[in-house]
């Protein structure tokens, strides 16, 4: 008989040690027939999760929330948030449960969390469950983001439940994801306590965030202001990186913005096909609040919500606190722009050393042609490496721009060759294209076929290298394949 309940991970629990009002202990609700779809062995070994002592059935049971691994302490975290601009004083983990924390091989503390493991006191009218489609989307897109080199939560496992969930369109197969995060502390976590006037809790949370994510600030006498600036810096860098790969988060509510600076919550997210800053895929975002081109503005808006929660900690004098926070917030666009320009310069093959005055105009000039031509974002940037030496690598409309850019590229210290190498490292061949995601979800949901999911996952694991026989994963959608909306699945 194989052991059914061996060690899974060495759990510890710093969040559970915070005061009671931060969380609610709640066990996962078992599902009818747990079965494993995917288990991320690479990530597991990185974070010290060991499946070797578990039978397949025990592993599936843990991944679906049917069994609580030894040493875990499941809990739902309290948080609030601004959703599409309106404040909701209580959200919280309505369908997610912190399993516990592990310390990874680098000594970094990581959260393990079930998503879809049943109702909690924060579920409101929701069922606490996730549909299989969104579980697969989150698995693929978060892992693709990681392979692209962006800070992101990861996916440890995906499981089916043998149960259906009821959504607007009718019943859908259910799924459970285990995700791994640097932590699940969000701007909305600060807002939860600030809205209740609970300054002690805000301070405890800020100290927690500093200890976990910004330990270098621990002894800083001005550490709460420094915390704000550190989060502003990481989030500015993150959103700039989203822009560089054409990523649209879709629901940049303050409860979906981490203090760690990781991308979190892959709901109606999408990668842009043809370049247009007004692109929005999420059907719940009717007014385009979270359109591609609005993401930098929302970054600043969300950081303003965080700053508000920290005011009493920044200075005992409210006037002083507001003045300092406001000045820092006004610096966010410049902060973002530094990352944005550096990132897009790299995409053009320009190194980090010499930033010529005309480089910004080169970037915006290219984007203007792309928009006018409705050019595919990812393919156009990928084609640049070829266009450095070949006039036919891009359509004729790009030729004038290409010639200007080549003159600039030739002035790079390493010349054109090093520019080409930079571009091949920076501009991916493969992104999780919407039509491919929809395709793998349809195969899984309609036919129970997970083959396409696994193939797409394999392709996306190496986004920068051209892979033989993988053209269908590289090319933009044909007109009939275009995806208009992505689905939230909540």
Measured from each CB, the residue nearest to Mg ion is: 265
Binding mask 244-273 for Mg ion (x = CB under 5 A): ------------x--------x--------
Which residues have C-beta within 8 Å of that of residue 149, sequence separation ≥ 6? Answer: 241
123 binds, among ligand AMP, Mg ion, none (CB under 5 to 8 A by kind): ligand AMP
Least Å distance between CB 132 and ligand AMP?
13
Active-site annotation, residues:
255
Per CB under 5 A, contacts with Mg ion among 37-66 are none
Measured from the CB atom, the residue of 266 and 398 that comes closer to ligand AMP is 266
Measured from the CB atom, the residue of 280 and 459 that comes closer to ligand AMP is 280
Radius of gyration of the CA atoms of the chain, in A: 23
Measured from each CB, the residue nearest to ligand AMP is: 126
Measured from the CB atom, the residue of 96 and 437 that comes closer to ligand AMP is 96
Least Å distance between CB 88 and Mg ion?
11
Please report, as ranges, the residues that interact with ligand AMP according to CB under 6 A. Answer: 91-95, 122-123, 126-129, 251, 255-256, 265, 267, 490
Least Å distance between CB 49 and Mg ion?
24
Strand ranges (E), 182-312? 247-248, 270-271
Least Å distance between CB 92 and ligand AMP?
5
Length of the chain: 490
Q: Using CA atoms, how far apart are residues 459 and 429, in angstroms rounded to an integer?
A: 10
Instruction: Give the residue carrying structure tokens 């210290």.
Output: 413
Does position 138 bind Mg ion by CB under 5 A? no
- By DSSP bridging, strand 75-77 and strand 170-181 are unpaired
- Kindly state the tokens that stand for 39: 């288990």
Measured from the CB atom, the residue of 184 and 234 that comes closer to ligand AMP is 184
Backbone angles phi, psi at 403, to 5 degrees: -70, -40
Least Å distance between CB 166 and ligand AMP?
10
Which residues have C-beta within 8 Å of that of residue 40, sequence separation ≥ 6? Answer: 143, 154, 155, 156, 157
Which residue in 137, 168, 161, 120 sits closest to 267, CA to CA?
Answer: 137
Identify the burial level of 83 via C-beta atoms within 10 angstroms of its C-beta, where 0-12 means exposed, 13-18 middle and 19 or more buried. Answer: middle
Per CB under 5 A, contacts with Mg ion among 305-344 are none
126 binds, among ligand AMP, Mg ion, none (CB under 5 to 8 A by kind): ligand AMP
Which residues have C-beta within 8 Å of that of residue 322, sequence separation ≥ 6? Answer: 311
Q: Please provide the distance, in angstroms rounded to a whole number, between the alpha carbons at the two ends of the chain.
A: 40
Measured from the CB atom, the residue of 306 and 313 that comes closer to Mg ion is 306
- Kindly state the tokens that stand for 115: 């998503």
Binding site residues, Mg ion, CB under 5 A: 256, 265
């Amino acid at each position: 008989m194989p052991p059914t309940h061996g060690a899974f991970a060495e759990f510890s629990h710093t969040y559970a040690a915070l005061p009671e009002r931060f969380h609610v202990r709640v066990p996962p609700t078992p599902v009818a027939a747990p079965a494993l779809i995917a288990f991320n062995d690479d990530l597991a070994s990185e974070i010290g999760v060991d499946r070797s002592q578990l039978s397949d059935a025990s592993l599936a049971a843990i991944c679906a929330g049917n069994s609580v691994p030894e040493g875990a302490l499941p809990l739902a975290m309290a948080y609030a948030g601004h959703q599409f601009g309106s404040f909701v004083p209580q959200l919280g983990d309505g369908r997610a449960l912190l399993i516990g924390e592990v310390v990874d091989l680098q000594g970094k503390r990581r959260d393990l969390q079930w998503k879809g493991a049943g109702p909690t006191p924060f579920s409101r009218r929701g069922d606490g469950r996730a549909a299989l489609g969104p579980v697969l989307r989150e698995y693929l897109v978060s892992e693709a983001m990681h392979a692209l080199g962006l800070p992101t939560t990861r996916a440890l496992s995906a499981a089916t439940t043998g149960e259906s969930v009821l959504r607007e369109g009718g019943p859908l197969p259910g799924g459970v994801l285990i995700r791994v995060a640097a932590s699940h502390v969000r701007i909305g976590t600060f807002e939860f306590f600030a809205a209740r006037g609970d300054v002690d809790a805000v301070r405890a949370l800020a100290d927690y965030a500093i200890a976990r994510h910004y330990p270098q600030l621990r002894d800083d006498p001005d550490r709460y202001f420094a915390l704000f600036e550190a989060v502003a810096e990481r989030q500015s860098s993150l959103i700039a990186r989203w822009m560089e790969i054409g990523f649209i988060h879709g629901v940049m509510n303050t409860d979906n913005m981490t203090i760690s600076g990781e991308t979190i919550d892959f709901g109606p997210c999408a990668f842009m096909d043809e370049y247009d800053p007004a692109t929005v895929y999420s059907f719940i975002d009717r007014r385009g609040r979270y359109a591609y081109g609005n993401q930098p503005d929302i970054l600043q808006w969300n950081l303003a919500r965080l700053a508000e929660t920290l005011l009493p900690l920044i200075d005992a004098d409210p006037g002083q606190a507001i003045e300092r926070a406001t000045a820092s917030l006004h610096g966010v666009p410049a902060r973002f722009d530094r990352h944005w320009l550096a990132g897009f310069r790299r995409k053009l093959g320009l190194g980090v050393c010499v930033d010529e005055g005309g480089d910004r105009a080169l970037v915006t000039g290219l984007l203007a042609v792309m928009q006018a031509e409705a050019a595919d974002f990812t393919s156009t940037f990928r084609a640049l490496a070829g266009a450095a030496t070949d006039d036919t690598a891009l359509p004729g409309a790009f030729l004038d721009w290409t010639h200007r850019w080549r003159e600039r590229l030739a002035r790079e210290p390493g010349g054109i060759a090093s520019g080409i190498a930079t571009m091949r490292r920076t501009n991916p061949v493969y992104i999780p294209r919407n039509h491919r995601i929809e395709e793998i979800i349809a195969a899984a949901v309609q036919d129970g076929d997970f083959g396409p999911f696994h193939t797409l996952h394999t392709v996306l694991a190496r986004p920068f290298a051209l892979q033989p026989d993988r053209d269908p994963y590289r090319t933009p959608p044909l007109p009939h394949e275009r995806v208009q909306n992505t689905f939230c699945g909540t």
